Amino acid sequence: MLKQLSERIQTKMAKVGVIGLGYVGLPLIQAFIDAGFSTLGFDLDEKKIESLQKGESYIGHIPSARIKKWLGDRAFESTAEMQRLSEPDVVIICVPTPLTDSRDPDLSYVEATARQIAGRLRPGQLVVLESTTYPGTTRDVVLPILESSGLTIGKDFWLAYSPEREDPGNIEFSASNIPKVVGGVDEQSRTLAMQLYDHAVAEVVPVGSCEVAEACKILENTYRAVNIAMVNELKVLLQKLDIDVWEVIEAAKTKPFGFQAFYPGPGLGGHCIPIDPFYLSWLARKNGVATRFIELAGEINTSMPEYVVGRVGEALNDAGKPLRGSRVAILGVAYKRDVDDPRESPAFKLMELLQKVGVVLSYNDPHIPVLPSMRHYDAPRLSSEPLTPEYLASQDCTLIVTDHSAYDYDEIVRYSRLVVDTRNATAAVGHGREKIYKA
């Protein structure tokens, strides 16, 4: 059975199933289709399935024309029917791994998905977890659920972990050209997963266990979170000294060794950096170890929205206006530039804080026409306002949260009464400097 599955993978006869057709799963489908595999996508969101079956994309960097081609070539099918999980030879899990309100790992999506797979698991399948999680999840959480099917690991089915590495909006990197780390619960599982990904990515990086692969992903994102926290803390200090932190970073970047630039912002966003370090600190507490460095970085980064609101208050105060009752326009609610992904965006925390002090909110984002409902925030029911001179002039303050390339910052400064810039987006604007506040 192992030999048969290996041959199906090597000859591209294996059908690849992906559970979770979001910003990780759908690009992964694309990588396997480009490699010549037939794919079957699963998602419980009926709206996503309806869109995909019509050939309509809901992710900006995957055009609808591409999905229509997949359908026309019969390389892709999507479904919400989990009873079809027995059809693919390979099942890849790409479901969310958020935090609970107490900042503990929430594995409910992974566990529920594993139970659905177990209910349909058949001999000869490979299961791969890609969802970001703490070391031990694949072996200690997913494996026992799959074995509850009565099938035996290493004999009837195989299990591996390969962390997703997606950077939405970055045209330089895609699922097919980013090296893929692969670890298995046993040697056979790792070998099968390596054979699979070797077709679809530029480089496969094998590691000794699924725990190493899981820890690798946590390290990558904790590294970024800690360094961003450092520049965020430095930003607050340098602002009090009337020193531009952005200019300091640009100067430091000229050092050709021993320095990598990280940039401050209004808070952390996306599905990885605001979450993954807390998975590691939770695991540390569980094992009686203090991760003070990581905890401190988390505290600094989560405090940034409050700092930004304080800067908005200072700007309005200088103009003789109170926060309460002032009209504030938020520019950009996506978590990063030029994407339509709002997950964990600091914009939502900023909205929450500004509403508490009585600010009249509105927003513009060319990539997000309507504010979606959010897991941890009570997002206001707002639609993106047209970014006209009249709209900008009607606001007491314009708050730049996400520095989309589509924005004309010269015009934004020209027509805004005040600008609070959290991304250094107005650095090249030569006029109206007196009404720009860095935050």
pLDDT at 7 over 90: yes
Predicted pLDDT of residue 171: 67
Question: Among residues 208, 239, 267, which one ends one of the domains?
Answer: 208
Owning domain of residue 126: 2-208
Span 217-228, pLDDT tens digits: 999 989 999 999
| 194-204: burial string, b at 16+ Cβ within 10 Å, e else | bbbbbbbbeeb
Span 347-360, pLDDT tens digits: 999 999 999 999 99
Structural domain contains residue 214: no
- Which neighbouring-strand residues pair with 157? 125, 153
Confidence of residue 211 (pLDDT cuts 50, 70, 90): very high
Stretch 312-334: mean pLDDT: 97
**Residue 11 shares a structural domain with residue 66:** yes
**Residue 228 shares a structural domain with residue 201:** no
**Residue 191 shares a structural domain with residue 232:** no
Residue of higher predicted confidence among 308 and 283: 308
Of the candidates 94, 210, 216, 272, the residue annotated as catalytic is 272
| Confidence (pTM) | 0.90
Query: What's the Cα-to-Cα distance from 289 to each of 99, 191, 294, 372, rounded to whole Å?
Result: 20, 34, 12, 38
Span 80-99, pLDDT tens digits: 999 999 999 999 999 999 88
Tokens, residue 349: 């925390």
Stretch 296-315: mean pLDDT: 94
Helices marked H in 35-129 — which ranges? 46-53, 64-72, 108-120
Span 101-131, pLDDT tens digits: 777 889 999 999 999 999 999 999 999 999 9
Structural domain contains residue 213: no
Predicted pLDDT of residue 174: 66
pLDDT at 372 over 80: yes
Are residues 397 and 328 in contact, defined by beta-carbon separation less than 8 angstroms?
A: yes
Strand, coil or helix: 150: coil
Structural domain contains residue 401: yes
Residues 26, 63: Cα–Cα separation, whole Å: 11
Residue of higher predicted confidence among 45 and 99: 45
Residues 284, 290: Cα–Cα separation, whole Å: 6
**Residue 39 shares a structural domain with residue 158:** yes
Structural domain contains residue 216: no
Residues 438, 422: Cα–Cα separation, whole Å: 6
pLDDT at 286 over 90: no
**Residue 196 shares a structural domain with residue 259:** no
Predicted pLDDT of residue 280: 80
Predicted pLDDT of residue 408: 98
Predicted pLDDT of residue 270: 66
Structural domain contains residue 260: yes
Residues 139, 142: Cα–Cα separation, whole Å: 6
Based on the residue annotation, tell me whether 272 is a catalytic residue of this protein: yes
Task: Give me the CATH number covering residue 416.
Answer: 3.40.50.720
Confidence of residue 271 (pLDDT cuts 50, 70, 90): low
**Residue 429 shares a structural domain with residue 400:** yes
**Residue 282 shares a structural domain with residue 172:** no
Q: Percent of the chain, pLDDT > 90? A: 82
Residues with Cβ < 8 Å from 277, sequence gap 6 or more? 218, 221, 222, 225, 226, 294, 297, 298
Residues 434, 93: Cα–Cα separation, whole Å: 51
**Residue 116 shares a structural domain with residue 230:** no
C-beta atoms surrounding 213 within 10 Å? 27
Q: Percent of the chain, pLDDT > 70? A: 97
Predicted pLDDT of residue 169: 66
- Tell me the HSE value of 164 on the side-chain side, using a 13 A CA sphere: 28
Predicted pLDDT of residue 175: 64
**Residue 102 shares a structural domain with residue 194:** yes
Question: Among residues 180, 208, 236, which one ends one of the domains?
Answer: 208
Q: Residue type at 396?
A: D
Predicted pLDDT of residue 168: 67
Question: Among residues 177, 208, 239, which one ends one of the domains?
Answer: 208
Structural domain contains residue 14: yes
Residues 297, 302: Cα–Cα separation, whole Å: 9
Confidence of residue 298 (pLDDT cuts 50, 70, 90): confident
**Among 65-74, 101-110, 310-319, which is the least confidently predicted range?**
101-110
Stretch 302-309: mean pLDDT: 95
Residues 96, 108: Cα–Cα separation, whole Å: 9
Residues 165, 54: Cα–Cα separation, whole Å: 28
Confidence of residue 268 (pLDDT cuts 50, 70, 90): confident
Which has the closest alpha carbon to 117: 160, 162, 147, 79? 147
Per the prediction, the chain carries an average pLDDT of 93
pLDDT at 374 over 90: no
Highest mean pLDDT among 245-254, 268-277, 376-385: 245-254
Structural domain contains residue 217: no
Residues 416, 390: Cα–Cα separation, whole Å: 9
Residue of higher predicted confidence among 191 and 171: 191
pLDDT at 412 over 70: yes
- Which neighbouring-strand residues pair with 78? 41
**Residue 185 shares a structural domain with residue 260:** no
- Tell me the HSE value of 413 on the side-chain side, using a 13 A CA sphere: 19
Owner of token pair 């900023």: 350
Confidence of residue 378 (pLDDT cuts 50, 70, 90): confident
Are residues 315 and 309 in contact, defined by beta-carbon separation less than 8 angstroms?
A: no
Predicted pLDDT of residue 215: 94
Predicted pLDDT of residue 282: 83
**Residue 335 shares a structural domain with residue 408:** yes
Are residues 380 and 358 in contact, defined by beta-carbon separation less than 8 angstroms?
A: no
Which has the closest alpha carbon to 134: 288, 275, 274, 279? 279
**Among 53-57, 173-177, 415-419, which is the least confidently predicted range?**
173-177
**Residue 20 shares a structural domain with residue 138:** yes
Domain count of the chain?
2
Instruction: Identify the DSSP state of 384.
Output: P
